[in-house]
Amino acid sequence: MNIIITGASRGIGFETALLFAKQNHQVFCLTRNTKSIEKYNNQKIHAIATDLSNTKSINQAVVQITNKVSHIDVLIHNAGSLINKPFENINYEELERVYKINVFAPYYLTQQLLPILGKTSKSHIVTISSMGGFQGAAKFPGLTAYSSSKAALVGLTEILAEELKDRNISVNCLALGAVQTEMLAEAFPNYKAPLTSSEMASYIYDFSINGSRFFNGKILPVSSTTP
């Protein structure tokens, strides 16, 4: 299978990429920092330096991918930007940065990849949202930019599933609870999450391969606690 994962330089994306590669799938990792991926020197992993906040950079990544393969089986929108700051202190540039990574990039990248999605077999697009963007879940102060952007990603998932269902493409969203990642540690230094990156990666790996058989347009909470 041919897989694309954004934000694969660390955390959940990194661990998920390694799982796919270990199972002999071809993985394209779109991330700003490629060093952590490249050091594995695995021929199944293609690290593509990509600034997901920049459309030109995304276009260049798409060209590199389409020059190598003619079909993508799984597209995982994993890259995320998080800022922990009171609502009144978040400036426009910070808000824009979060939305560019969490919402605009999944929208635009999917759009540019449509010619190689769902062509020879079903493609599965998996968006990685958060319980912070899941309706009715507990919300936390300081995360207005992050949680609202993840809620927007939930809406994007639902409408994409409807628009793309006749193109042999399924689109689902995993709303993750707290996972012990570098991004979480940077935003909440004293918080200890109940799950590790590798544990969540294992779940995402299995869902990416099998989830489209059972779901389309669904927002699935992946959390060990009930808000």
**Residue 90 DSSP SS3:** coil
What distance in Å separates the CA atoms of residue 60 and residue 224, rounded to the nearest whole number?
39
> From the centroid of its chain, how far is CA 222?
14
Tokens representing 157?
Answer: 């998932």
Angle between helices 11-22 and 197-210 (to 10 degrees): 60
- The position carrying tokens 């799984």 is 74
Type of residue at 59: N
Q: d(Cα 202, Cα 195) in Å, to the nearest integer?
A: 11
Separation CA 185–CA 193 (nearest Å): 9
- Based on the number of CB atoms within 10 Å of its own CB, is 203 exposed (0-12), middle (13-18) or buried (19 or more)? middle
Q: Active-site residue among 99, 108, 146, 191?
A: 146
Q: Which helix (H) or strand (E) holds 29?
A: strand 26-31
Point out which residues pair with 2 in neighbouring strands.
26
Whether 40 is catalytic: no
The two structure tokens encoding residue 29: 């990792």
Q: How far apart are CA 150 and CA 142, in angstroms?
A: 14
Residues serving a catalytic function are: 146
